[in-house]
Amino acid sequence: MPTPGPHTTRYGGNTSCVALRKDGGDEQLVILDAGTGVRPLGNLLMERSNGALEMDLLLSHTHWDHIQGLPFFAPLAVHGHVVRIWGSKQGNVELPVILQQQMHPVVFPVPLDELATDLTVEHVEPGRFQIDGFDVSAMRVRHPASTMAYRLVPKGGGTSLAYVPDNELGPGGDYGMPENWRAEFVEFLADVDVLIHDAMFAERDLDRFAGWGHSSPEEALAVAAEAKAKQLVMFHHRPEHDDDTVDRLLKNARAKGKKCGVDVVAASEGMEMKL
Protein backbone atom coordinates (compact mmCIF):
# COMPACT_ATOMS: atom_id res chain seq x y z
CA MET A 1 0.00 0.00 0.00
CA PRO A 2 1.11 3.56 -0.58
CA THR A 3 1.95 5.21 2.75
CA PRO A 4 1.92 8.99 2.32
CA GLY A 5 2.12 11.11 5.46
CA PRO A 6 4.43 12.99 7.79
CA HIS A 7 6.22 9.74 8.76
CA THR A 8 7.41 9.05 5.17
CA THR A 9 8.32 12.52 3.89
CA ARG A 10 11.96 11.60 3.21
CA TYR A 11 11.82 8.07 1.81
CA GLY A 12 8.39 8.54 0.26
CA GLY A 13 5.16 6.61 0.44
CA ASN A 14 4.61 5.51 -3.17
CA THR A 15 4.83 1.87 -4.23
CA SER A 16 7.45 0.40 -6.58
CA CYS A 17 8.53 2.33 -9.66
CA VAL A 18 12.03 2.95 -11.04
CA ALA A 19 12.93 4.73 -14.29
CA LEU A 20 16.14 4.10 -16.19
CA ARG A 21 17.18 6.57 -18.87
CA LYS A 22 19.99 6.13 -21.34
CA ASP A 23 21.27 9.52 -22.45
CA GLY A 24 23.20 10.52 -25.53
CA GLY A 25 22.05 10.12 -29.12
CA ASP A 26 18.59 8.62 -29.01
CA GLU A 27 17.34 8.85 -25.49
CA GLN A 28 15.89 5.56 -24.27
CA LEU A 29 13.57 5.15 -21.34
CA VAL A 30 12.82 2.01 -19.37
CA ILE A 31 10.38 1.88 -16.47
CA LEU A 32 10.59 -0.90 -13.91
CA ASP A 33 7.17 -1.56 -12.37
CA ALA A 34 4.13 0.67 -12.30
CA GLY A 35 3.32 1.07 -8.63
CA THR A 36 1.84 4.38 -7.53
CA GLY A 37 5.22 6.03 -8.15
CA VAL A 38 4.54 5.81 -11.90
CA ARG A 39 1.89 8.54 -11.63
CA PRO A 40 4.29 11.38 -10.65
CA LEU A 41 6.84 9.93 -13.10
CA GLY A 42 4.25 10.14 -15.91
CA ASN A 43 3.49 13.74 -15.02
CA LEU A 44 7.20 14.59 -15.05
CA LEU A 45 7.68 12.92 -18.45
CA MET A 46 4.74 14.86 -19.88
CA GLU A 47 6.12 18.14 -18.53
CA ARG A 48 9.56 17.54 -20.02
CA SER A 49 8.52 16.00 -23.34
CA ASN A 50 8.53 17.95 -26.54
CA GLY A 51 7.25 15.30 -28.89
CA ALA A 52 6.23 11.69 -28.88
CA LEU A 53 7.43 9.62 -25.92
CA GLU A 54 8.55 6.05 -26.40
CA MET A 55 9.26 3.66 -23.55
CA ASP A 56 9.50 0.07 -22.36
CA LEU A 57 7.78 -0.84 -19.09
CA LEU A 58 8.99 -4.04 -17.42
CA LEU A 59 6.71 -5.53 -14.78
CA SER A 60 8.30 -7.81 -12.17
CA HIS A 61 4.85 -9.26 -11.38
CA THR A 62 1.29 -8.04 -11.07
CA HIS A 63 0.68 -7.74 -7.34
CA TRP A 64 -1.18 -4.50 -6.67
CA ASP A 65 1.81 -2.55 -5.43
CA HIS A 66 3.54 -3.04 -8.81
CA ILE A 67 0.68 -2.11 -11.19
CA GLN A 68 -1.55 0.16 -9.11
CA GLY A 69 -0.30 3.37 -10.72
CA LEU A 70 -0.67 2.20 -14.32
CA PRO A 71 -4.24 3.47 -14.89
CA PHE A 72 -3.03 6.91 -13.76
CA PHE A 73 0.09 7.01 -15.95
CA ALA A 74 -0.56 10.16 -18.00
CA PRO A 75 1.30 9.19 -21.22
CA LEU A 76 -1.20 6.33 -21.74
CA ALA A 77 -3.94 8.84 -22.37
CA VAL A 78 -2.14 10.71 -25.16
CA HIS A 79 -2.23 9.82 -28.81
CA GLY A 80 1.22 9.44 -30.38
CA HIS A 81 3.14 8.05 -27.40
CA VAL A 82 4.43 4.48 -27.60
CA VAL A 83 4.39 2.25 -24.50
CA ARG A 84 5.59 -1.36 -24.64
CA ILE A 85 4.72 -3.38 -21.52
CA TRP A 86 6.65 -6.57 -20.71
CA GLY A 87 5.91 -9.12 -17.99
CA SER A 88 5.14 -12.69 -17.06
CA LYS A 89 1.75 -14.34 -17.34
CA GLN A 90 0.38 -15.49 -13.97
CA GLY A 91 -0.57 -19.15 -14.05
CA ASN A 92 -2.80 -19.46 -17.10
CA VAL A 93 -3.83 -15.83 -17.05
CA GLU A 94 -2.16 -13.78 -19.76
CA LEU A 95 -0.75 -10.35 -18.95
CA PRO A 96 -3.13 -8.37 -21.23
CA VAL A 97 -6.09 -9.96 -19.42
CA ILE A 98 -4.70 -8.99 -15.99
CA LEU A 99 -4.16 -5.38 -17.10
CA GLN A 100 -7.59 -5.22 -18.76
CA GLN A 101 -9.28 -6.51 -15.62
CA GLN A 102 -7.44 -3.95 -13.49
CA MET A 103 -9.28 -1.33 -15.57
CA HIS A 104 -12.60 -3.17 -15.88
CA PRO A 105 -15.57 -0.75 -15.86
CA VAL A 106 -16.66 -1.92 -12.40
CA VAL A 107 -13.45 -0.52 -10.90
CA PHE A 108 -12.15 2.10 -13.34
CA PRO A 109 -13.82 4.53 -15.76
CA VAL A 110 -11.57 4.06 -18.81
CA PRO A 111 -10.87 0.56 -20.22
CA LEU A 112 -7.30 -0.30 -21.22
CA ASP A 113 -8.33 -0.88 -24.84
CA GLU A 114 -9.67 2.67 -25.16
CA LEU A 115 -6.42 4.39 -24.18
CA ALA A 116 -5.07 6.67 -26.84
CA THR A 117 -1.47 5.61 -26.69
CA ASP A 118 0.11 3.02 -28.96
CA LEU A 119 0.26 0.18 -26.42
CA THR A 120 1.68 -3.33 -26.77
CA VAL A 121 1.95 -6.07 -24.14
CA GLU A 122 4.58 -8.81 -24.46
CA HIS A 123 5.10 -11.94 -22.39
CA VAL A 124 8.47 -12.50 -20.74
CA GLU A 125 10.02 -15.90 -20.00
CA PRO A 126 13.18 -16.47 -17.96
CA GLY A 127 16.20 -15.88 -20.19
CA ARG A 128 17.43 -13.10 -22.41
CA PHE A 129 15.53 -10.64 -24.57
CA GLN A 130 16.07 -7.20 -26.02
CA ILE A 131 14.28 -3.93 -25.59
CA ASP A 132 15.05 -0.54 -27.08
CA GLY A 133 18.65 0.27 -26.13
CA PHE A 134 19.15 -2.51 -23.56
CA ASP A 135 19.86 -6.22 -23.31
CA VAL A 136 17.71 -7.76 -20.58
CA SER A 137 18.05 -11.01 -18.62
CA ALA A 138 15.08 -12.30 -16.65
CA MET A 139 15.06 -14.84 -13.85
CA ARG A 140 12.25 -16.15 -11.66
CA VAL A 141 12.65 -15.31 -7.97
CA ARG A 142 11.22 -16.57 -4.69
CA HIS A 143 7.96 -14.69 -4.32
CA PRO A 144 4.30 -15.73 -4.64
CA ALA A 145 3.11 -15.67 -8.27
CA SER A 146 5.46 -15.70 -11.22
CA THR A 147 7.85 -12.92 -10.24
CA MET A 148 10.81 -11.84 -12.36
CA ALA A 149 14.13 -10.25 -11.54
CA TYR A 150 15.57 -8.20 -14.39
CA ARG A 151 19.16 -7.41 -15.19
CA LEU A 152 19.76 -4.67 -17.76
CA VAL A 153 22.87 -3.58 -19.59
CA PRO A 154 23.03 -1.04 -22.42
CA LYS A 155 23.44 -2.60 -25.86
CA GLY A 156 27.14 -2.59 -26.62
CA GLY A 157 28.03 -2.77 -22.90
CA GLY A 158 28.22 -0.40 -19.95
CA THR A 159 27.05 -0.18 -16.37
CA SER A 160 24.66 -2.96 -15.36
CA LEU A 161 21.65 -2.77 -13.10
CA ALA A 162 19.59 -5.54 -11.51
CA TYR A 163 16.05 -4.95 -10.28
CA VAL A 164 14.71 -7.45 -7.72
CA PRO A 165 11.89 -5.74 -5.84
CA ASP A 166 10.22 -8.78 -4.25
CA ASN A 167 12.30 -11.83 -3.32
CA GLU A 168 12.60 -14.07 -0.27
CA LEU A 169 16.24 -15.02 0.29
CA GLY A 170 15.51 -16.84 3.55
CA PRO A 171 14.38 -20.46 3.75
CA GLY A 172 10.65 -19.73 4.21
CA GLY A 173 8.00 -20.35 1.58
CA ASP A 174 7.69 -22.91 -1.18
CA TYR A 175 8.03 -21.29 -4.57
CA GLY A 176 8.77 -24.43 -6.59
CA MET A 177 12.35 -23.39 -7.34
CA PRO A 178 15.19 -25.80 -8.16
CA GLU A 179 17.57 -26.72 -5.33
CA ASN A 180 20.43 -24.75 -6.85
CA TRP A 181 18.27 -21.61 -7.18
CA ARG A 182 20.49 -19.46 -4.95
CA ALA A 183 23.67 -20.38 -6.84
CA GLU A 184 21.89 -19.52 -10.09
CA PHE A 185 20.68 -16.25 -8.61
CA VAL A 186 24.23 -15.29 -7.52
CA GLU A 187 25.39 -16.11 -11.04
CA PHE A 188 22.56 -13.98 -12.47
CA LEU A 189 23.76 -11.03 -10.35
CA ALA A 190 27.50 -11.63 -10.80
CA ASP A 191 29.52 -8.37 -10.81
CA VAL A 192 26.45 -6.19 -11.28
CA ASP A 193 27.14 -2.50 -10.68
CA VAL A 194 23.86 -1.62 -8.99
CA LEU A 195 21.53 -4.11 -7.31
CA ILE A 196 18.09 -2.82 -6.34
CA HIS A 197 16.83 -5.50 -3.95
CA ASP A 198 13.95 -6.20 -1.60
CA ALA A 199 14.96 -5.21 1.97
CA MET A 200 11.49 -5.06 3.46
CA PHE A 201 11.66 -6.81 6.82
CA ALA A 202 13.95 -6.02 9.73
CA GLU A 203 16.08 -9.01 10.64
CA ARG A 204 14.25 -9.51 13.96
CA ASP A 205 10.87 -9.84 12.16
CA LEU A 206 12.01 -12.42 9.61
CA ASP A 207 10.76 -15.49 11.49
CA ARG A 208 7.29 -14.02 11.84
CA PHE A 209 7.09 -13.28 8.11
CA ALA A 210 8.70 -16.44 6.73
CA GLY A 211 6.90 -17.36 3.52
CA TRP A 212 5.71 -13.80 2.77
CA GLY A 213 8.16 -13.49 -0.13
CA HIS A 214 10.46 -10.75 1.16
CA SER A 215 13.96 -10.28 2.61
CA SER A 216 15.89 -8.24 5.17
CA PRO A 217 18.66 -5.72 4.39
CA GLU A 218 21.20 -8.20 5.84
CA GLU A 219 20.03 -10.97 3.50
CA ALA A 220 20.11 -8.63 0.51
CA LEU A 221 23.61 -7.51 1.51
CA ALA A 222 24.82 -11.11 1.83
CA VAL A 223 23.69 -11.97 -1.70
CA ALA A 224 25.11 -8.69 -3.03
CA ALA A 225 28.50 -9.49 -1.46
CA GLU A 226 28.42 -13.05 -2.76
CA ALA A 227 27.70 -11.81 -6.28
CA LYS A 228 30.33 -9.04 -5.94
CA ALA A 229 27.78 -6.33 -6.63
CA LYS A 230 29.25 -2.84 -6.19
CA GLN A 231 26.20 -1.15 -4.75
CA LEU A 232 23.02 -2.30 -3.03
CA VAL A 233 19.89 -0.16 -3.09
CA MET A 234 17.53 -1.21 -0.30
CA PHE A 235 14.07 -1.27 -1.86
CA HIS A 236 10.41 -2.08 -1.15
CA HIS A 237 10.34 -0.54 2.34
CA ARG A 238 7.78 -2.02 4.66
CA PRO A 239 4.61 0.13 4.89
CA GLU A 240 4.86 0.03 8.69
CA HIS A 241 8.38 1.50 8.64
CA ASP A 242 8.67 5.26 9.02
CA ASP A 243 11.66 7.35 7.88
CA ASP A 244 13.50 6.91 11.19
CA THR A 245 13.16 3.13 11.01
CA VAL A 246 14.54 3.04 7.46
CA ASP A 247 17.39 5.31 8.66
CA ARG A 248 18.25 2.79 11.35
CA LEU A 249 18.13 -0.19 8.97
CA LEU A 250 20.28 1.71 6.47
CA LYS A 251 22.87 2.76 9.05
CA ASN A 252 23.24 -0.83 10.20
CA ALA A 253 23.42 -2.21 6.63
CA ARG A 254 25.94 0.46 5.54
CA ALA A 255 28.27 -0.47 8.41
CA LYS A 256 28.06 -4.16 7.47
CA GLY A 257 28.42 -3.31 3.77
CA LYS A 258 31.72 -1.49 4.43
CA LYS A 259 33.16 -4.73 5.78
CA CYS A 260 32.28 -6.67 2.64
CA GLY A 261 32.96 -3.97 0.03
CA VAL A 262 29.35 -3.18 -0.92
CA ASP A 263 28.11 0.39 -0.83
CA VAL A 264 24.55 0.51 0.56
CA VAL A 265 21.88 3.16 0.00
CA ALA A 266 18.12 3.16 0.60
CA ALA A 267 15.72 4.02 -2.20
CA SER A 268 13.80 7.24 -1.66
CA GLU A 269 11.12 9.15 -3.53
CA GLY A 270 12.59 11.04 -6.49
CA MET A 271 16.14 9.81 -5.83
CA GLU A 272 18.39 10.03 -8.89
CA MET A 273 21.58 8.07 -9.54
CA LYS A 274 24.07 8.44 -12.36
CA LEU A 275 25.33 5.02 -13.39
Q: Quick check: 168 binds Zn ion (CB under 5 A)?
A: no
- Choices 19-27, 63-71, 201-209, 243-251 (CB under 5 A): range interacting with Zn ion: 63-71
Q: How far is the CB of 64 from Zn ion (least distance, A)?
A: 8
- Choices 26-34, 51-59, 87-95, 161-169 (CB under 5 A): range interacting with Zn ion: 161-169
How big is the site for Zn ion, counted in residues (CB under 5 A)?
Answer: 3
260 Cβ neighbours under 8 A, 6+ residues apart: 221, 225
Q: How far is the CB of 47 from Zn ion (least distance, A)?
A: 28
Residue nearest to Zn ion (CB): 63
Q: How far is the CB of 135 from Zn ion (least distance, A)?
A: 25
> How many whole angstroms separate alpha carbon 15 and alpha carbon 27?
26
Q: Quick check: 166 binds Zn ion (CB under 5 A)?
A: yes
What is the pattern of x (binds Zn ion, CB under 5 A) and - over residues 183-222? ----------------------------------------
Residue 55's DSSP bridge partners are 29, 83
- Choices 46-54, 64-72, 187-195, 202-210 (CB under 5 A): range interacting with Zn ion: 64-72
- Choices 44-52, 62-70, 179-187, 202-210 (CB under 5 A): range interacting with Zn ion: 62-70
If the CB atoms of residues 119 and 233 are measured against Zn ion, the closer one turns out to be 233
Q: How far is the CB of 269 from Zn ion (least distance, A)?
A: 16
If the CB atoms of residues 119 and 232 are measured against Zn ion, the closer one turns out to be 232
If the CB atoms of residues 134 and 235 are measured against Zn ion, the closer one turns out to be 235
Q: Quick check: 63 binds Zn ion (CB under 5 A)?
A: yes
HEC states along the chain?
A: CCCCCHHHCCCCCCCCCEEEEECCCCCEEEEECCCCCHHHHHHHHHHHCCCCCEEEEECCCCCHHHHCCHHHCHHHHCCCCEEEEEECCECCECHHHHHHHHCCCCCCCCCHHHCCCEEEEEECCCEEEEECCEEEEEEECCCCCCCEEEEEEECCCCCCEEEECCCCCCCCCCCCCCCCHHHHHHHHHCCCCEEEEECCCCHHHCCCCCCCCCCCHHHHHHHHHHCCCCEEEEECCCCCCCHHHHHHHHHHHHHHHHHHCCEEEECCCCCCCCC
Q: How far is the CB of 60 from Zn ion (least distance, A)?
A: 8
If the CB atoms of residues 53 and 233 are measured against Zn ion, the closer one turns out to be 233
Q: Which residues bind Zn ion (CB under 5 A)?
A: 63, 65, 166
